[in-house]
Amino acid sequence: MRIRFIFLLIVATSWAQQKNTDSISNSTPANEYIIHYDDFIKTRVGFTNSFNSFHIKDQKDNLDFTLSPNQRLRSTFTFMYKFIELDLGYTPDFIRFNKDDEKYGKTSFSNFGTRLYLGKWMQSIEYTKIKGFYVNKDDIGIPENLLFSNFQMRRFGGSTSYIFNPNFSFRTIFGQSEWQKKSAGSFVPSISYYFTQMKNDNPSKDNSIDIAVGPGYYYNWVINKNLLISAGAYGGVGYNTTKTTYSDGTPEEIIDGLSYQTQLNLNLGYNSEKFYTGVTARWNTFYYDNDPRVHIKDQQRFFEFYVGYRFKASERISNLVNNPQSLIKKK
């Protein structure tokens, strides 16, 4: 509920800007490359398995292991109308295939994300919280997995991107609130920024800031009027600073240096006027070399299968979103 409240605040603060953008979008003539669904309410149900893991290679102590959460398949419900997007996620017992908490530990996961489109600009915002990780026994040569049930990661951040080609639809990739009619691609440079906090049972806490900028390219390949494949990649170079603080009076430590970021996206989508479905896979990795003898990879992986349906918004809902002041006047 707390995350959903943050979402509503973001929607409220961006309402004025988005209202102008949507008005322009609605008045734009039909594009021979893109089908717009601005007047439709989009609903989507998906099954997703997204997680963060940390691969650590320490040459000083001859260690090479991955700190991972216990992966869980979750269901999600998505509601989209114009610039409004609301995601609800839960994990019913009948899809919890990996009931193996004793072996891999219990993991709790919460995630919130939204995207705003302002002309050729795209703004993404996300929040992630994961608690409960483990190290596989084979990585460190012990009889049982090493569990860190109280290891917790919080991350808040996003990215700002500029889409050069007006005939390329980014919304086809993310949510299918549009559909690409003719194959097109675009150069999409981005800047990303994240704040990450990690803590465990010990008295230390790590706070990291990552900023990276770089080029990207995405392409929607239209196979036929109902089927397409989307692919894209991004590579960035940036700066990372990590501050470790201690609650027992130990002096804080600060480590900084260059970081590198890579993103890969792959999507297979099917579309009709009202029904749509697809499979999406994404990989986002940060590489840290603050210490030449210690290499860390922060890996984010996302896989989702979804089905969705569009239906025409009523005139009352359309008027309310396009002119929210009318509701106040009626009262």
Predicted TM-score of the model (pTM): 0.80
Binned average pLDDT, 10 residues per bin, the chain of 331 residues = 39 40 42 87 84 83 86 77 69 61 82 81 88 89 89 93 95 87 96 92 86 96 96 95 85 88 95 93 87 80 90 75 56 49
d(CA 70, CA 151): 12
**Taking the domain 2-330, which CATH number applies?**
2.40.128
Instruction: Check residue 152 and give its pLDDT.
Output: 92
- Which DSSP string do the residues of 136-203 spell out, in sequence order? -HHHHT-SS-EEEEEEEEEEEEEEEEE---TT--STTTTT-SEEESS-EEEE--EEEEEEEEEE-SSS
For residue 256, give both structure tokens: 């900084």
List of residues 6+ apart from 131 with CB closer than 8 A: 107, 108, 109, 149, 150, 151, 152, 153
β-strand partners of 184: 220
Rounded CA separation 169/143 (Å):
51
Write down the residue that tokens 């990989």 correspond to: 283
Whole-angstrom distance, CA of residue 89 vs CA of residue 111: 9
Residue keyed to tokens 């109902």: 226
- Structure confidence at residue 25 (pLDDT): 39
Let me know: does 236 contact 243? Beta carbons within 8 Å: no
**What residue spans of the chain are helical by DSSP H?**
2-13, 15-27, 101-104, 137-140, 315-322, 325-330
Is the Cβ–Cβ distance between 306 and 277 less than 8 Å?
yes
121: helix, strand or coil? strand
4 CB-side CA count, 13 A: 7
User: Which token pair is 200?
Assistant: 């465990």
Q: Which of 312, 112, 149, 300 is nearest to 210 (CA)?
A: 300
31, amino acid identity: N
Please state, in angstroms and rounded to a whole number, the distance separating the CA atoms of residues 269 and 100: 33
What is d(CA 128, CA 47) in angstroms, rounded to the nearest whole number?
Answer: 17
**Residue 97: per-residue pLDDT:** 57
At a CB cut-off of 8 Å and minimum separation 6, what does 5 contact? none
pLDDT value of position 117: 81
What is the three-class DSSP state of 49?
A: coil
Question: Are 69 and 104 spatial neighbours (Cβ–Cβ below 8 Å)?
Answer: no
As beta bridge partners, residue 89 has 76
Element at 299 (helix H, strand E): strand 294-312
Q: What is the pLDDT of residue 63?
A: 82
Buried b (16+ CB within 10 A) or exposed e, 156-173: bbbbebebeeebbbbbbb
**Among candidate residues 273, 258, 248, the one with its CA nearest the CA of residue 212:** 258
Backbone angles phi, psi at 2, to 5 degrees: -65, -40
Tell me what pLDDT residue 43 has. 87
